Chains A and B, each alone.
Chain A
Amino acid sequence: QSVLTQPPSVSAAPGQKVTISCSGSSYNIGNNYVSWYQQLPGTAPKLLIYDNNKRPSGIPDRFSGSKSGTSATLGITGLQTGDEADYYCGTWDSSQRGYVFGTGTKVTVL
């Protein structure tokens, strides 16, 4: 059972915006950097956001990350059918003494 809680699913029409929350505690999100990973169907996860709000080279600026207190948020604007995927947050947890991933959120484009 993960210590990082995400909504199971979010959906929106093409072109719209979705946000995905990742709720944790002072042991994890509150005191560590958060990363976000996109997992397209049948493929390996890919780094989408790191250090709370930075994008690796090649990731479009439609994807954004933020952190406030013990929660983090991933935003996707201009939603495209190719964005349909599972999204996971992740960070170090000092209580678990290890890296933890969120429960995962499935994004559906209506």
Chain B
Amino acid sequence: QVQLQESGPGLVKPSQTLSLTCTVSGDSITGGDFYWSWIRQPPGKGLEWIGYIYYSGNAYYNPSLKSRVAISVDPSKNHFSLNLTSVTAADTAVYYCARTTVTTAKFDSWGQGTLVTVSS
């Protein structure tokens, strides 16, 4: 049973960089059948896909965030990370990591989510 766990600061100052890590257990990131994704949800609002990465390092991003987002993967630690630069209050959200099937892009396992607040 795969498990994903997000970690990182819960408070980030405006204009700074939001950095989160998702640690995967019960599955290998290098397995090849999955992308590894980040999704966010502002308080009281819907879901927004941020992007995903393959174990090889190939990443795909939401065009609306592409200029500020970078997702990286560390196979040796079986984790992947999110960096979001120049954050504003609009980036306040619960951030989820998820496993995504390569074939039909379904998010079949999710982390519990972590709330990141952007505030001075």
A and B found bound together: yes
Question: How many residue pairs bridge A and B at CB < 8 Å?
Answer: 60
Considering the chains assembled together, what is the distance between the CA atoms of A99 and B48 in angstroms? 9
Does B16 have its Cβ within 8 Å of any Cβ on chain A?
no
Contact in complex: B49, A45 (CB < 8 Å): no
Mark each residue of chain B from 46 to 62: 1 if its CB lies under 8 Å from any CB of chain A, else 0: 11110110000000111
Interface residues on A, range: 20 to 34
Considering the chains assembled together, what is the distance between the CA atoms of A98 and B96 in angstroms? 17
Mark out the residues of chain B between 34 and 54 whose CB falls within 8 Å of any chain A CB in the assembled complex: 46-49, 51-52
Which residues of chain A have C-beta atoms less than 8 A from B52's C-beta? Answer: 99
Ordered by A's residue number, 5 sampled pairs between the chains whose C-beta atoms are within 8 Å are A35-B107, A45-B96, A45-B110, A50-B106, A99-B105
A interface residues with partner B (beta carbon < 8 Å): 2, 32-33, 35, 37, 43-47, 50-51, 56, 88, 90-92, 96-104
